[in-house]
Amino acid sequence: MRYYRESRMDTLARYRGVLTIVAIPVLLFLAVLLLSPGKSEYASSFNRSQPFSRVEYERTGATDKTERWAVVIDAGSTGSRVHIFKFLTGAGGNLELQFDKFDQLKPGLSSFADDPAGAAKSLKPLIDLAVATVPSSLQSSTPMMVGATAGLRLLPDGKADIILDEVRHYMRSFPFKFQDDDVKILSGVDEGAFAWLTLNYLLGHLGKPHTETVAAIDLGGGSVQEAFAMSREEAKSAPKADYVTHLRGGGQEYSVYVYSYLGYGLMAGRAAVLQEDPNGPEDDTHPCIHGGHTGEYEYGGKSFVAAGHDDGASHGECAVTVQNALKPQEKCGAPQIQCSFSGAWAGPRIPAVFYVSSYFWDRAADAGLVNDDKHISAKVQPGHFESAALEACPLHVDSLEDSFPRVQESHRPFFCLDLTYAYTLLTHGFKIPKNKEITLVKKVEYKGETVEAAWPLGAAINLLN
């Protein structure tokens, strides 16, 4: 039997009917595309660098994403602020921030010291906004917390506890997920831990090994806080358990060293340095104060003499005075090499990557180390603060503006002190080599937006994990 091999033309002829039926809709579809504008509305509005809206997720087919919400109220000394965070979670459980709806009101809870019920009810507009924002079907699974900071800590006679009890009672009338310990006064350690979580989340480091996260040092006015992740073995070596906070983020649990050095923020640090008497009781001048200035510095209800020498301030003498104020030789309950300053344990190793913020940024901007108008972060070295101090300290207070025009008038007498304090704190306090690169940070870029690395976002992440 002979087999007949069909030619290509015969095959096309045999299937021409089928091809015609298939080709007609394809040609119609192509015609529509050709007649349409070069870019569709969807193509022109879609931008992966921006937070997605719910509609955009549906249009991209991301139906495996789950909405999760968290409500965090930051009850500060001057007012209360609500952050309503929306996240999407994928199969791995990673949280993807979509937006942070924010509102604030005044006065703060501490203004209601004699009216605890009024303090609780003052939060109603903020909670009402959360009720209106979070989908009703998700409110019972949405955690809500109130973190009170400096203002309530200062109230006498247990008044803060009474206010917090009223807030707890009031919050039970709303549909959110809530436990009594979700209303509390945050310690400096709490703020430092949540801020560390925020920073590493925005940088994309959560979920990675602890060695790939960054350390954070925040120089406030009254205190300076350090936070970094360590191994479980390193955490077990802490002389006291409260040096380590356990946080969850990115599907991992981190052992985070957090310590708040109360009294060593920049404003408190000025007082500590001025309290040192390097020239003896017969000489009122101080090596950290610019020449030409005579006056007093007030902090914490006390006054300190702040007078400069006619020959100008001296960075070298000022640095020695700052070192003495830091008390680096105080014992910390561990080998002295592991002690930082003021009797605090610093851990068994120095972290690899540091992000420093707040007054570190402000004084760097004043010194011209970073362009505050253009940048949200900058790479510098601790030694750059020393170089700026060496230039600034000899200047008369009245001529300081010519070389450093950004320095506010009220800060000019203390500019040498501030720069020297920043340098000495980093190198002798936290033992960072003077030539090591660190990152000054004001804000962090996340999905094309600039976001402040503040504690409420970290608190929300911890709540949801």
Half-sphere exposure for 58 (CA within 13 Å, toward CB): 4
155 contacts 110 by C-beta, under 8 angstroms = yes
Identify the active-site residue in 41, 56, 67, 191. Answer: 191
Burial class (CB in 10 A: 0-12, 13-18, 19+), 431: middle
The three-state secondary structure class of 43 is helix
Nearest-angstrom CA–CA distance, 114 and 190: 27
CA triple 243-431-380, angle to 5 deg: 115
Q: Are 74 and 81 in contact (CB under 8 A)?
A: yes
What sign does the dihedral 275-280-284-286 (CA atoms) show?
negative
Give the residue from 271, 322, 262 showing the smallest Cα distance to 299.
271
Sign of CA dihedral 56, 58, 62, 66: positive
343 in the Ramachandran plot: left (φ > 0), alpha (ψ -120 to 50) or beta?
left
Q: In 276-358, which residue ranges form alpha helices assigned H by DSSP?
A: 315-326
Non-local CB neighbours of 308 within 8 Å, separated by 6+ positions: 285, 286, 289, 290, 291, 292, 293, 294, 397, 413
Q: Which ranges of 172-224 does DSSP label H, i.e. alpha helix?
A: 188-202
Give the DSSP letter of residue 186: P
Pairing, β 438-441 against β 215-219: unpaired
Rounded-to-integer distance, Cα 140 and Cα 105, Å? 25
Q: Locate tokens 């007498």: which residue? A: 413
- Work out the number of other CB atoms within 10 angstroms of the CB of residue 121: 14
- How far apart CA 392 and CA 66 sit, in angstroms, is 55
Of 330, 326, 345, 332, nearest to 423 (Cα)?
326
Helix/strand/coil for 377? strand
Note the maximum CA span of the chain: 126
191 is known as an active-site residue: yes
Closest C-alpha to 392, from 313, 293, 327, 276? 313
Q: Which residues are tagged catalytic? A: 191
